[in-house]
Amino acid sequence: MRTGGHAEPAPESTTAPESSAAGGAVPETPNATLRALAEAGDHPLMRSFPHGAVFTFDTDLRYLSAGGLGLADVGLSRELLEGKTIYEVFPAETSGLIEQLYRAALSGESTTTDIPYEGRLYAQRLAPVRDPAGEIVAAMGFMQDITKKRADEQELRDSVERFQHIFSYAPIGKAIVELDGRWRQVNQALTELTGYSEAELLAGTFQDITHPDDLDADLQHVQSLVAGDIPGYEMEKRYITATGATVWVLLSVTLVRDENETPLYFIAQILDISQRKAQEQALQDLVAMLSHDLLTPITVAVGYAELLDTSWADLADDRRAELLHKISAAGKAAQAMLRDTLTVSSISGQGIAPRPEHVEVQDVVRAALDTADASDVFETDLRPGTAVVDPTQLSQMVSNLVSNAIKYGQAPFRVSLDEREAAITLRVSDSGSGVPAEFVPQLFDRFSRSEAARTGTARGTGLGLYITRELVSANGGTIWYEDTPGGGATFAVDLLRHT
């Protein structure tokens, strides 16, 4: 095999015509295979090739024949190609690009390459041509305009990439789900929402993590969607996370079908609505509290006031004083509940903005006990020490803890301060029955009241400890519950000594 010049004359060779039917000058082709290739341009199949252009060339990179209805699309013709080398037909930029590919075909390598030409893009396929003896004497090529095809493919890739980007980085959970409920694809937001890794989710189904109480309704929607009864569905449901916690979501589902309307898979969007559900529950709790706990002291005050109004002259002085005291106590109870409610509203809306300063903690504690008329019922062990805290908010913390102890605990009551290197620890203790172990995790939740507290005579909003926790946290401290030695409840607060 040679990579340049003409093949040596074969014994059976004859002299090829000097020109093709198309009129292009064709050199003598003594090899029968080359002669056949040079004459191929006149063949009806070559002339009428329906797509693209077909061509052959020899080892001098000279075109032997060309044909196909696509020649005109390329801006070429048989006359421009046959008998001419690639250097005579194409500009240096193009000929330099295809030369290596042509020579690779003449060395036995078949290639498929996209070639830019005249602002268009062409797919070029090249393959060697061998004579009966197996020697490579020429090569054949096919070229077709694929500009639109490649543009469509690029648009599809861009579209897929855009979808993947939107899917992967969406701020809400997104998933592609098989018809049997298996996760096919999930995004990062969904893994963060559920606490499961991508691999863990893909190994299971949505049924595995759906709250049992919500599963039947979800599956009924799925069946209706597959049956074509509904175009999609939206529902609030709960997932059980990897930690065992419950998270509320708003689930929106659509079904993808093929051209024959055969169901393929579901597309799901999952929005975390846990905060909204918590706010709704808090509102319900607030309404319940206002309609019951707050109404009770107001009703008491109104009843005693009416009694005084209608029976003032018939009542003894001590009885009048007693009723006035009860009215005052009921009013103060209602006032405290309303204050807690407004404080929670402020926390939820604007947040807490403490103005910390160096405060002598024992002074604030004594003042809070005096204000609550609790100095006589509380034992104190108040060691001196300063903390960096908002004094007004510290006073409310102490008042809430003192009020909570009196309301739900039993005497003796005690307040202590313990100074340590980084913090001052405030403890407020009672000697009652303490807090049931199962209720301790809920102690500082909003509107949280134990069963004993709900059924007891003490009235409250269930907001005092929640407010105290928020105030302590805003001032950089921590609060916790511990059992009082010998029985009872103790609430401890660490107040920072330095910022």
Query: pLDDT tens digits for 67-80?
Result: 888 788 777 888 89
Residue 411 near residue 430, CB atoms below 8 Å: yes
Query: Does 453 score more than 70 pLDDT?
Result: no
Give me the mean pLDDT over the 292-309 stretch.
Answer: 79
Domains along the chain with CATH numbers: 32-151 (3.30.450.20), 170-272 (3.30.450.20), 277-349 (1.10.287), 357-496 (3.30.565.10)
Instruction: Map tokens 């001196």 to a residue.
Output: 384
Give me the mean pLDDT over the 258-262 stretch.
Answer: 92
CA–CA gap between residue 487 and residue 349 (Å, rounded): 38
Query: Does 460 score more than 60 pLDDT?
Result: no
Query: Does 172 score more than 80 pLDDT?
Result: yes
Query: Does 18 score more than 50 pLDDT?
Result: no
- At residue 343, the pLDDT reads 65
Question: CA nearest 497: which of 423, 418, 398, 410?
Answer: 423
Summarize pLDDT for 97-135 with one digit per residue, the tens.
899 999 999 999 999 999 888 888 889 999 999 999 899
- At residue 72, the pLDDT reads 81
- CA–CA distance from 334 to each of 262, 341, 401 (Å)? 64, 11, 18
Burial class (CB in 10 A: 0-12, 13-18, 19+), 48: exposed
- At residue 13, the pLDDT reads 35
Residue 393 pLDDT grade (very low, low, confident, very high; cuts 50, 70, 90)? confident
The rounded percent of the chain whose pLDDT value lies above 90 is 43
- Please, which residues have CB within 8 angstroms of residue 246's CB and are 6 or more apart in sequence? 211, 238, 239, 240
Residue 396 pLDDT grade (very low, low, confident, very high; cuts 50, 70, 90)? confident
Give me the mean pLDDT over the 16-28 stretch.
Answer: 43
Query: Does 167 score more than 90 pLDDT?
Result: no
Query: Does 458 score more than 60 pLDDT?
Result: no
CA diameter of the chain: 149
CA–CA gap between residue 142 and residue 59 (Å, rounded): 17
Summarize pLDDT for 397-408 with one digit per residue, the tens.
898 899 889 888
- At residue 408, the pLDDT reads 85
User: What average pLDDT does the structure give for the chain?
Assistant: 83
Centre a 10 Å sphere on the Cβ of residue 341 and count the other Cβ atoms it contains. Answer: 17
- At residue 449, the pLDDT reads 61
Give me the mean pLDDT over the 57-61 stretch.
Answer: 95
Residue 351 pLDDT grade (very low, low, confident, very high; cuts 50, 70, 90)? low
CA–CA gap between residue 56 and residue 200 (Å, rounded): 57
Compute φ and ψ for 125, nearest 5 degrees: -115, 125
- At residue 129, the pLDDT reads 94
Query: Does 153 score more than 90 pLDDT?
Result: no
| Angle, vertex CA 219, rays to CA 216 and CA 220, nearest 5 | 85
- At residue 499, the pLDDT reads 59
- Please, which residues have CB within 8 angstroms of residue 414's CB and are 6 or more apart in sequence? 378, 379, 380, 381, 427, 428, 429, 430
CA–CA gap between residue 206 and residue 322 (Å, rounded): 64
Give me the mean pLDDT over the 47-76 stretch.
Answer: 85
Which range has the worst mean pLDDT, 113-117, 169-173, 267-271, 357-361? 169-173
